[in-house]
Amino acid sequence: MSVALAQQLREGTKKSHTMAENTGFVTCFLKGVVDKSSYRNLVADLYFVYSAMEEEIGVLRAHNHPVVAPVGFPELNRCKALEEDLEFYFGLDWISIVKPTAGAQAYVTRIREIARETPELLVAHHYTRYIGDLSGGQILKKIAQKAMNLGDHEGLRFYEFDDISNEKAFKTNYSMTLNSLPIDQNMADLIVQEANRAFEFNMQMFKELEGSLIAAIGKVLFGFLTRRQRVGSTEI
């Protein structure tokens, strides 16, 4: 039995998506205020998250898991790109320097947990991260590039999907794949619930980065940039 999972994920995570955009770190980012120290720490956190996700999905894909394997498109993988970015920000010895924050570690723990217990839920994390990255990648890349005065590829490989030539066509195929997964409505509900939980993990990582961002730009500017969000507006 197949269900319209793509639409359910899109509709079922709208509120969480808005909440994530309204965190202080993301609000500042979208307004062009990007501190290099905070950003490189985000890249480090994402490296640990994607490493766990790509390892677990890779194993399940190799074993032809009926639900997880179909969405494990290798052209979406981000680890290699993140490694290049980490080398740019931290140097050749980056692997001995970077550590996950508490929020990133909690995220990784959850990914490992569901991979063992209910691997179908990995679809939720896959959708939340990869499709979000693919959809907004070029916009975020331009913002980060301008804000941090970087070259075209310097420290921004994370946003570059070299193996995807047609983003629109890929996302259409991805949606069709989600809709064809052999799951029932109960599992679809659990996947949507897990996708909202994935947004919560991402928001926790963003909030942890706010301290270093405030230290870089000052409390007054941070407050000015985020005051709409504090009074409940969803306008970015």
Given the structure tokens 């490989």, which residue do they identify? Answer: 157
- Which residue type sits at 149? N
Cα separation, 122 vs 178, in Å, equals: 12
Cα separation, 109 vs 120, in Å, equals: 16
pTM: 0.90
* Domain ranges (residues) in the chain: 5-230
Please give the angle made by the CA atoms of 51, 52 and 55, to the nearest 5 degrees. Answer: 80
Residues 6+ apart with CB under 8 A from 108: 48, 49, 52, 100
Residues 6+ apart with CB under 8 A from 105: 48
Cα separation, 206 vs 46, in Å, equals: 11
pLDDT tens, per residue, the chain with 236 residues: 568 999 999 999 999 999 998 888 888 888 888 888 889 999 999 999 999 999 999 999 999 999 999 999 999 999 999 999 999 999 999 999 999 999 999 999 999 999 999 999 999 999 999 998 998 877 888 999 998 999 888 999 999 999 999 999 999 999 999 999 999 999 999 999 999 999 999 999 998 887 666 666 666 666 766 775 444 433 32
Q: Does domain 5-230 have CATH number 1.20.910.10?
A: yes
Judged on CB neighbours under 10 Å (0-12, 13-18, 19+), 68 is buried
Tokens coding 33: 């205020």
Cα separation, 184 vs 14, in Å, equals: 22
